[in-house]
Amino acid sequence: MSDTPRELDTDAGHRWTPTGIALLVAVVAIIAMWVYILGPWRNREVPTTLEDLTYAERVEPVCAAAQARIEDLPPAATAASPQERAEVLDEANGIVAGLVADLHEIDPVGAADRQYVDQWMADWESYLQSRRDYASVLASGRDERFTVQAENGHPITQRMDGFADLNDMPSCFVPLDV
């Protein structure tokens, strides 16, 4: 027997720490996400991209004309009072109401696009009502923040602008005059 103590084998294998496990789970989740995104089974069509490419060509000039008329109005920041701002907003709301009416007259060619256009138009109606409500608040002398309906924590204007963007209708973004 020897007098030297035996060295203990402390490297019995790798031990997983909670941090190591969390990192492994994160890496696996990221890999799974990319496999899904790049995988052949994923539907690559965005559901709000219209099949009718002529729809954008027909509505874009209508939206552009309305946006130009709104841009000709005095900016909200120049109003001396909430009541003065309400007067300008009422005028702009008349333009938006005309835009909404005109957009209702333009139908998509295919039936498959109807539900998306109908949702977009419902959002325009809700947006217009929010503008009218806000004009009433301003007319009463209260200078409050403008808000619109939200769904799933996001304002409907985000969905409206997303639809316009996906379908190449930049003039159909919501007006930024409020």
The pLDDT tens digits for 33-72 are: 787 767 665 544 445 899 999 999 999 999 999 999 999 9
- DSSP state letters, 96-160: HHHHHHHHHT---SSGGGHHHHHHHHHHHHHHHHHHHHHHHHHHTT--PPP---EETTEEHHHHH
pLDDT at 15: 84
Q: How far apart are CA 68 and CA 172, in angstroms?
A: 11
Q: Which residues 6+ apart lie within 8 Å of 136 measured at CB?
A: 86
Which burial class, exposed, middle or buried, applies to 66 when counting CB atoms under 10 A from its CB (0-12, 13-18, 19+)? buried
Q: What is the DSSP letter of 178?
A: -
Domain ranges of the chain: 54-172
| pLDDT tens across the length of the chain (178 residues) | 555 555 555 555 678 899 888 988 999 988 887 877 676 655 444 458 999 999 999 999 999 999 999 999 999 889 999 999 999 999 999 999 999 999 999 999 988 899 999 999 999 999 999 999 999 999 999 999 999 999 888 999 999 999 999 999 999 999 999 9
Q: How far apart are CA 43 and CA 80, in angstroms?
A: 52
pLDDT at 44: 44
